[in-house]
Amino acid sequence: MPVPRQDPKAALMHSLYLQGHSLAEVGRAFGVSRQTVFKMLSQRGLKLRSKSPPIMVVEFAGTRYTRRANGYFASTSNPRTYLHRDIYEKAHGPIPDGLEVHHKNEDKTDNRLGNLELMRSSDHGKLHSLVLGRGVSTRFKKKMG
């Protein structure tokens, strides 16, 4: 990810944005306006989504997964399952109760096995609320993966 100037805040904003959060949501998490986020990212040459992002579809083991509003890929057929969980379970077997699959690099579209790790649900929730801030995390907490 190109970050011309050393700015962890802008980099974090950008990574949230790339995960599918809108500029307004990212702004809310940081307590700034949508315009401020836009300015911070564009001044640093960070790429912004085009107005109509392409629908992202992934296929895994004969199942279709589409990208949801929360940034995660979920299957289009019943039972609805999350791609990252299915990939993990295919390799390692069922995910034990109380554990969740986390994307190590925080990129929900990067579902390579090496990017997935098990975490206790409680730790996972904590990690995401630290990264996302309260405004965003409460909305996405339930569907976190």
Between CA 124 and CA 120 the distance in angstroms is 6
Residue (37 or 137) nearer to Zn ion, CB: 137
Q: Which residue is nearest to Zn ion (CB)?
A: 102
Q: What residue has token string 């990264």? A: 131
Helix axes 23-30 and 8-18, enclosed angle (nearest 10): 140
Between CA 86 and CA 139 the distance in angstroms is 23
Residue (40 or 132) nearer to Zn ion, CB: 132
Residue (85 or 102) nearer to Zn ion, CB: 102
The distance of closest approach from Cβ of residue 38 to Zn ion in the complex, given in angstroms and rounded to an integer, is 26
User: Rounded to the nearest 5°, which phi and psi values hold at 116?
Assistant: -110, 135
The distance of closest approach from Cβ of residue 4 to Zn ion in the complex, given in angstroms and rounded to an integer, is 28
The distance of closest approach from Cβ of residue 144 to Zn ion in the complex, given in angstroms and rounded to an integer, is 6
Residue (28 or 102) nearer to Zn ion, CB: 102
Residue (67 or 102) nearer to Zn ion, CB: 102
The distance of closest approach from Cβ of residue 116 to Zn ion in the complex, given in angstroms and rounded to an integer, is 9
| Contacting residues toward Zn ion, per CB under 5 A | 102
Task: Please name the residues in contact with 94: beta carbons below 8 A apart, sequence gap of 6 or more.
Answer: none
Structural tokens at position 117: 């790790």
Grouping H, G, I as helix, E, B as strand and the rest as coil, residue 99 is: strand
The distance of closest approach from Cβ of residue 127 to Zn ion in the complex, given in angstroms and rounded to an integer, is 7
